[in-house]
Amino acid sequence: MDRFAWTNGLLEMNETLVIQQRGVKLYDGDDKAKLDVGAALLTTHRLIWRDLKNHECCIAVSLSQIIYFEEQAAGIGKSAKIVIHLYPVPSNKEPGPYQHSKFSYIKLSFKEHGQIEFFRRLTEEMTQKRWEKTVPQTVSTATGSQTGKTRAVGIVGIERKIEQKRKETDKNISEAFEDLSQLMVKAKEMVELSRSIANKIKDKQGDITEDETIRFKSYLLSMGIANPVTRETHGSGTHYHMQLANQLGDMLLAPLEGERGGMMALTEVYCLVNRARGMELLSPEDLVNACKMFESMKLPLRLRVFDSGVMVVQLQSHSEEEMIASALDNVTDKGSLTSEEFAKLLGLSVLLSKERLLLAEKMGHLCRDDSVEGLRFYPNLF
């Protein structure tokens, strides 16, 4: 028991708490120590015992002092114990509660159990010997009257740790973004390139055939818009959305007039636009707002919201009557159609083809057959 020295209970630099167990009584050899019940703390460096009520009463012994330790099972009226055999008292030992002891071992008696885990962790620490890697620079004392040195405990210690962590994260972040900024530089070059090609095409309008021009332009489109409208270039709010609507108009007109059959779901538009932009991606919200501008800006496109909430962009010339008539024609042709079949027939998405059929039904041109085989639409013969 005389190996123990007074301590303030604070952890040293590099020292971490491993496990803590309440309700532990100390034995000086086989005799009960003249101390109350307290908490046993195992750190990477020391075994600490602190009185339950009087926290000032705190003693510690270095783990390097331990020769070996063993378990002592519980019996009737006896708590389980861990017996720890210690080296002789070192000459430079700080004062402790005991000056002398006839025993070279102590016992930890676990009144509130937890001895199994404590024993396991103690075994771990004893094999890892972490205290050897970073020996505490100062040996703590309870009185602390003669210690004037700065110690990495308390608020200063915490602050220092936080500062260190912050620096590390800083470094990590800047490393991560280095790649990205390089990519940005390259992207700018790409945009420059596509712009110069675009200009060349304009200059040599007569020299290359129309087919080639179109092909080139489609390459450019898949590569990216030469100079995308961004919040940076056009500010935010209405003006931005108006410019964006203009650009969308230029971009969507061709596919809408071509294979899309005059109508595209907004999700499709979103994907197409953002693929063309490459960088400087649009948010869905900005896209919707820009699409809402079509009408007031007298562009040949319209944003249309179906009853089901599905939003599409369609050509202004693309009239409802025509759409319904074509749906009716198709259904009459085939006798009956499901939305999937109709989608295949027109090369539309299933969602849009269904909307068309429902619209035609709403106008009374079609009627439905809802059976186990699915929803089919028939010409309204009623």
Partner 1 sequence: MSFEWPWQYNFPPFFTLQPNVDTRQKQLAAWCSLALAYCRHHKLYTLDVMESQESPVFNNKKIERKLSTESIQVVFEELRKKGNLDWLDKNKSRCLVMWRRPEEWGKLIYQWVSKFGMINSVFTLYELTNGDDTEGEEFHGLEEWMLLRSLQALQTEGKAEIISMDDGKGVKFF
Q: Least separation, in Å, of the C-beta of 325 and partner 1?
A: 17
Q: Which two tokens stand for residue 118?
A: 């404590």
Which of 203, 207, 307, 370 contacts partner 1 by CB under 8 A? 370
307 binds partner 1 (CB under 8 A): no
**Read out DSSP for 338-373?**
EHHHHHHHHT--HHHHHHHHHHHHHTTSEEEEEETT
Q: Which stretch binds partner 1 (CB under 8 A): 5-13, 151-159, 286-294, 367-375?
A: 367-375
Determine the Cα–Cα distance for residues 279 and 180; give it in Å rounded to an integer.
12
Query: Smaller CB distance to partner 1: residue 260 or 376?
Result: 376
Q: Which residues have CB under 8 Å from 132's CB, separation 6+?
A: 64
Q: Which residues have CB under 8 Å from 107's CB, separation 6+?
A: 26, 27, 29, 30, 72, 81, 82, 83, 84
280 binds partner 1 (CB under 8 A): no
Alpha helix (H) residue ranges in the chain: 115-128, 130-133, 154-203, 210-223, 231-234, 238-257, 266-277, 284-292, 320-334, 339-346, 350-362
Q: Least separation, in Å, of the C-beta of 359 and partner 1?
A: 11
Q: Least separation, in Å, of the C-beta of 382 and partner 1?
A: 4
93 binds partner 1 (CB under 8 A): no
Q: Least separation, in Å, of the C-beta of 262 and partner 1?
A: 25
332 binds partner 1 (CB under 8 A): no
274 binds partner 1 (CB under 8 A): no
User: Buried b / exposed e across 26-47, counting CB within 10 Å, b at 16+?
Assistant: bbbeeeebebeebbbbbbbbbb
369 binds partner 1 (CB under 8 A): yes
374 binds partner 1 (CB under 8 A): no
* Coil, strand or helix at 188: helix
Q: Least separation, in Å, of the C-beta of 352 and partner 1?
A: 20
Query: Smaller CB distance to partner 1: residue 297 or 367?
Result: 367
Within residues 347-366, the interface with partner 1 by CB under 8 A covers: 361-362, 364
Query: Smaller CB distance to partner 1: residue 126 or 367?
Result: 367
* Coil, strand or helix at 153: coil
Which of 325, 336, 346, 350 contacts partner 1 by CB under 8 A? 336
**Read out DSSP for 311-333?**
EEEEETT--HHHHHHHHHHHHHH
254 binds partner 1 (CB under 8 A): no
Query: Smaller CB distance to partner 1: residue 127 or 382?
Result: 382
- Residues lying near partner 1 in the complex (CB under 8 A) are found at 336, 361-362, 364, 367-371, 376, 378, 380-382
